Amino acid sequence: MPAYLNAIEKGVSTVMVSYSSWNGVKMHSNHKLITGYLKNKLNFTGFVISDYDGLDRITTPWGANYTYSVLTGILAGIDMVMVPFNYTIFIDTLTSLVNQKYVPMTRIDDAVRRILRVKFTAGLFEHPNANYSLVNQLGSQEHRDLAREAVRKTLVLLKNGKSDQTPLLPLSKKAGKILVAGTHADDLGNQCGGWTITWQGQSGNNETIGTTILDGIKKTVDPTTQVVYNENPDSNFVKSGQFSYAIVLVGEPPYAEFVGDNLNDLKILEPGPAIITNVCGSVKCVVVLITGRPVVIEPYVPMVDALVAGWLPGTEGQGVADVLFGDHGFTGKLSRTWFKTVDQLPMNVGDSHYDPAVVVVVEVVVVAFSPSPSNWWSMLN
């Protein structure tokens, strides 16, 4: 619980309960963790809110015994309930449970006290409406520059070179002709993933504004370098193109929450695998994975020269190009081991069945001075 303790010490005001279960107990009904641990042991003084329709999901099927769900959730320690539709039923149900003394007024008083404390502290009674004075800064260049920096710092180098003598990265900016391919090369929606303007997000460049990774590449390379973009080239096109190297950007379509659940698979959808095969089987290539999580990549690792976890870089695709071409070095690290197959899960360093999917190939260079980030890669070469 270190992250929670740190947040509570910093004064976080609200905690949302998740849909998940712990040892078979739905979190929305877990008195031991919500009240016993969060409120009592960690001394959390803010309020606990349910997730969207969270009480309904305590039972299987959802909403099978709504009275039981309300009773269990409130007694577990939930102070504010997110009811998106039938809120009058919730109010009537909880009122009845209080009148029948199944829910004591001390529990209601505790919830109300916590909610009012947060609202008073936030100044909502004095200033109930949003402050629009900073709206003109949303999406400002300063914000985009910070987002671009975040992209650079989160990229993870998974492989660099088919042997330790032949690293591909950083890429040359002065190559004669390069190929950029893949479903995620010129698609802001795919870069951003879910919760972008809409809940699930949407592929394409119509939902928001920003810089695609393709645009970032074009802005980074030398003016004399020819950048050819082909989303899904066949092998003949690649072989006949006389490309110095290729950048392949593939990954997952946008999704949010349970819509993206697919633990039994976690594979890159077509045409992603075909693009990797067609391109990397014909020319030196770096594959950048645009995903919200690790995916199965083991079948493709041997054929690629370099492999990068790009995650979801959002609107600032220039940050990906910054690192691929060596203006900044790789600094991101995996928080957990990247698996070969989903059958290995859960797996992490130290487990008896530890068998990671990729091994990073890096060069270690000792220098007698401190280079600036802008020329770090050039000195490695």
- The whole-angstrom separation of Cα 324 and Cα 327 is 8
9 is catalytic: no
Residue 162 included in any domain:
yes
Q: Which domain holds residue 331?
A: 141-380
- Mean pLDDT calculated for residue range 248-264: 91
**pLDDT bracket for residue 363 (50, 70, 90):** very low
Indicate whether 265 and 375 sit together in one domain: yes
- The whole-angstrom separation of Cα 81 and Cα 61 is 19
Residue 134 included in any domain:
no
Q: Which two tokens stand for residue 77?
A: 């320690």
Indicate whether 37 and 146 sit together in one domain: no
Rounded to two decimals, what is the model's pTM? 0.82
Indicate whether 286 and 245 sit together in one domain: yes
Indicate whether 100 and 172 sit together in one domain: no
Domain closes at, from 65, 92, 122? 122
Indicate the number of domains in the chain: 2
Q: At what angle do helices 66-76 and 105-122 cross, to 10 degrees?
A: 60
**Which stretches within the chain are classed as H helix?**
2-9, 31, 66-76, 87-99, 105-122, 141-154, 188-192, 213-220, 235-239, 272-280, 318-324, 376-380
Residue 359: per-residue pLDDT: 54
* CB-based contact 174:329 (threshold 8 Å): no
Residue 381: per-residue pLDDT: 33
Indicate whether 80 and 161 sit together in one domain: no
Indicate whether 107 and 227 sit together in one domain: no
pLDDT at 222 > cutoff 80: yes
pLDDT at 376 > cutoff 60: no
Any idea what the CATH number is for the domain that residue 240 is in?
3.40.50.1700
Q: Catalytic one among 92, 109, 257, 355? A: 257
Any idea what the CATH number is for the domain that residue 83 is in?
3.20.20.300
- Mean pLDDT calculated for residue range 165-179: 94
Residue 164: per-residue pLDDT: 62
- Mean pLDDT calculated for residue range 167-177: 97
DSSP secondary structure letters along 229-281: E-SS--HHHHHTT--SEEEEEEE-----GGGG--TTT-BPPTTHHHHHHHHHT
- The whole-angstrom separation of Cα 11 and Cα 83 is 26
pLDDT at 379 > cutoff 70: no
At 79-109, the pLDDT tens digits run 999 999 989 999 999 999 999 999 999 999 9
**pLDDT bracket for residue 131 (50, 70, 90):** confident
257 is catalytic: yes
Indicate whether 186 and 48 sit together in one domain: no
**pLDDT bracket for residue 362 (50, 70, 90):** very low
Residue 129 included in any domain:
no
